[in-house]
Structure 1
């Protein structure tokens, strides 16, 4: 590894500055370095990976050799059919067919590029999120293979952000890095091995621009460090891969983004949106209509939220004690149900003691049940009436909701919301009744866990073209400025097609940006 791998301060000038260190940013950095450019990654925190490192590492990259080797029924044509069915005009948003085609054409290419750089992938069984034409049975997402910490360069092993359940309590990562940690670790190791530089503790707040006969062009950035502001210049361009604005309450409020900073799954103290604002100041257009990648969030005793999915039993009720949706929906879709009505935030997830008082679902982090009970984020009671009193919901409504739900569990048919009718609904479940997604609330004592609206990041960002170039409101490009991931307006708009769509689209458009830079 080069001695300058973690340079401080940053170099004075390079070919490409990459802002942020998530999956899209690091993909762009690695591919640019391998293409012969000099690249520096500027990361605001002392860890690399951002929200990508917290993720399961799924990458929605259709039609690659990885799926072909796994023998699954995936293809570019099938993915095109699926996206055409899923990405429908909605609330002022219209899909950009050219960007969709660019994504589909380049997804297999970026996988091949990364595999050539030594990044190993495997197919991950995980159902896609919509029952639509072109859907691939058990999904088409891929993920990086796990890697032992000892197999990584020491500097990389020390700087990759730990899993969320460890990071939030100040613990280091595990000896085996999986999912998002494996993705970031592999990308960072390959990037540094190719001669790239990563500078932590650099918060990019402004872009440097110069004016010539063609107008303003981006020539670098200003970054704040513990030693003051530094100027870093870019001969070829700047790629924003810095996440969204989920960490800024003021920006969330100004763009009417549901949820709160403390409920977001972004690493705390990050993703405050300064690079997006800097792009706006440089003349870029911004689209805020995507809102966010949402999920139900198990509220933690400290007020934070936890990414939650895969409920095995139990039901969710709103403040009136009534059920309002299929709890087994893909998490973004259920999150949007929560956001649709203020009475649903907070909600209460009601379950029984069949799993020994543990939440019958997957929450990252779940937290200690005893701590939840002490803080009141969970309550426990011997009867549903007592549970209602502790949660503040009407007892008669809660008792009626549970009785109706239990009746559906007995018959195997959710007459209200169809829980268990889709392959995603049953992916995480193992119930023994006529519908394995429907397991009743019958065994006292009973529990209720408070849920808020969490997100995996916001979606509003810089408007870009098929090459990841930042566009002005008139459709012309801002010279030398590129964006990917949550710093860019999403190709998928308000939709979340399948596991790894945020990472997959970020990686593809980062790679396309590099191609434009190199050409």
Structure 2
């Protein structure tokens, strides 16, 4: 739709926000707190998007929550680290807008008594200048439910395991990503903003001069509604992780089945609409990658924090340091051509010293019986028998285990350096008594187990090209007036790198805050 001359507006606001994850709600609250009439529309029945599934560590360097914990950080320290990784792959002025805006974003949010953050250790993901071995991330403080009816909190998306297993969300306090979403929703409401679920964005409206002046949505009753936005429209509807057609067209990974993006969202609607107005795009082949456990239904669940076992490819060989941070491990899978297609399997192999459960964190609990019935979990009394069960060469897996056990005895992995980095050791803890390297424990105690692993993602990270204030840009670098994009709807400032825990949500929050400031004239 190119002109508002034929549009009869059903509603008028200052700011319309499409989506309800951490980036969207930070932008919405930041606008409402500045006195702008703000409305959030969410396509699904729940608020929170993928943020609600997250542990919600936030990579926001140099903020006051860190300072309260005695962590001495700054935008400049983070800049040295960030620049060493991202380099010139994204504009330096946009990188600086993120890094310099992280502290002010937290300060602004914490002016509300409803928004509180705390520092917890979680290492940066790469070695380099300015790296924090203990991490620089902050987390939302758990949210105790206020007394009385809380329709907004009841509408926060359940945890991933709850939705996947079809069981009720836990009662009591909201934690992690759900705490962030709940706090932002309550703060938005207190500031006078509103949020509507089951309201699907269907298009943008421009005036005769090309300014975006509103949007078309479909409400819960299926009616078409035109909402005028006097100050701007903020697109924060996630990426295109659930759209198999777009992922194929842009060469983005193995497809939509193995993403952690919630069903019903992440279909690229906002991205398509902006492209229709001439918006530029970038990084369309990129995602926030992660190794994932393959489930019997063909889906997959994010796994991290590996404490034991090895990953092997179709030849029964290791191909990477299994303790790498999840995006780095995902990229190692891509480089090795492993786990990114059914014909290129990866198996996570461990032994009885770790028990029957996989020795790590799987976001959705596994059910061994159904996994075995589906052929994605196998157990055997010997490495050789396990190799036959999972269909890899017996000599290959046997040689891998023998070599790995030698590394465990020496405390050093000369092939991949497992256990050499502070991130590797973060989840391993002290390890076993007498073990020279807590990340290298031998596979020597039958029974032996293997579960199938695939290349998953936490969402796509390519999208609309934006400037320092999240304004959507055309190919010639000019801004589409009135249109903003943040979170996974925008091409991420980190480029092809995942620098530390909470970069996806943290970058989105900062640019949501900056977009709101621009719309408010701050």
Q: Normalising TM by the smaller chain, what interval?
A: over 0.9
Aligned to 1:377: 376
Aligned to 2:278: 283
Structure-2 separation of matches of 1:11 and 1:144: 36
Name the CA shift for 1:278/1:488 in 2 (closer, same or farther; >3 Å): same
1:53 aligned to 2:52?
Answer: yes
Aligned to 2:19: 20
User: Which among 300, 307, 312 is matched to residue 317 of structure 1?
Assistant: 312
CA apart distance, 1:235: 1.0
CA apart distance, 1:228: 3.0
1:204 aligned to 2:204?
Answer: no
Aligned to 1:4: none
1:185 aligned to 2:208?
Answer: no
1:255-285 per-position Cα deviation (integer Å, ceiling 9, x unaligned): 0001321210011121000100100101211
Name the CA shift for 1:152/1:129 in 2 (closer, same or farther; >3 Å): farther
Q: Secondary structure at the match of 1:198?
A: strand
1:38 aligned to 2:50?
Answer: no
Q: Secondary structure at the match of 2:66?
A: helix
Q: Secondary structure at the match of 1:261?
A: coil
1:165 aligned to 2:161?
Answer: yes
Aligned to 1:353: 352
Aligned to 1:471: 473
Name the CA shift for 1:417/1:98 in 2 (closer, same or farther; >3 Å): same
Structure-1 separation of matches of 2:349 and 2:56: 30
CA apart distance, 1:337: 1.1
Structure-1 separation of matches of 2:238 and 2:348: 30
Aligned to 1:397: 396
CA apart distance, 1:290: 5.7
1:248 aligned to 2:247?
Answer: no
Aligned to 2:107: 112
Structure-1 separation of matches of 2:423 and 2:383: 29
Structure-2 separation of matches of 1:429 and 1:153: 42
CA apart distance, 1:11: 6.3
Structure-1 separation of matches of 2:167 and 2:206: 41
Name the CA shift for 1:368/1:149 in 2 (closer, same or farther; >3 Å): farther
1:71-113 per-position Cα deviation (integer Å, ceiling 9, x unaligned): 1132222101111111135xxxx22110111112211111011
Q: Secondary structure at the match of 2:207?
A: strand
User: Which among 486, 493, 505 is matched to residue 491 of structure 1?
Assistant: 493
Structure-2 separation of matches of 1:205 and 1:111: 32
CA apart distance, 1:150: 4.3
Give aligned pairs, total. Answer: 503
CA contact (8 A) 1:290 1:494 kept: no
Aligned to 1:332: 327
**Uncovered stretches (5+) of structure 1, i.e. residues with no partner:** 1-9
Aligned to 2:216: 222
Aligned to 2:409: 410
CA contact (8 A) 1:152 1:185 kept: no
**Uncovered stretches (5+) of structure 2, i.e. residues with no partner:** 1-8
CA contact (8 A) 1:99 1:491 kept: yes
- Indicate the larger mover: 505-514 or 79-88: 79-88
Q: Secondary structure at the match of 1:74?
A: coil
Structure-1 separation of matches of 2:229 and 2:147: 33
1:127 aligned to 2:123?
Answer: yes
Structure-2 separation of matches of 1:99 and 1:199: 31
Aligned to 1:304: 299
1:328-380 per-position Cα deviation (integer Å, ceiling 9, x unaligned): 00000000111224344331000012232010001101322222222221111
Q: Secondary structure at the match of 1:507?
A: helix
CA contact (8 A) 2:319 2:336 kept: no
Correspondences of 1:440-451 after superposition (within 5 Å): 440-451=442-453
Aligned to 2:3: none
Structure-2 separation of matches of 1:37 and 1:17: 10
CA RMSD of aligned residues (A): 1.4
CA apart distance, 1:422: 0.4
Structure-2 separation of matches of 1:290 and 1:16: 31
Aligned to 2:6: none
Q: Secondary structure at the match of 2:481?
A: strand
Name the TM-score, length of structure 1 as normaliser. Answer: 0.95
Structure-2 separation of matches of 1:218 and 1:444: 64
CA apart distance, 1:458: 0.3
Aligned to 1:502: 504
User: Which among 424, 439, 442 is matched to residue 441 of structure 2?
Assistant: 439
Structure-2 separation of matches of 1:133 and 1:185: 36
Structure-1 separation of matches of 2:370 and 2:149: 38
Q: Secondary structure at the match of 1:251?
A: helix
Q: Secondary structure at the match of 2:165?
A: coil
Aligned to 1:6: none
CA contact (8 A) 2:286 2:461 kept: yes
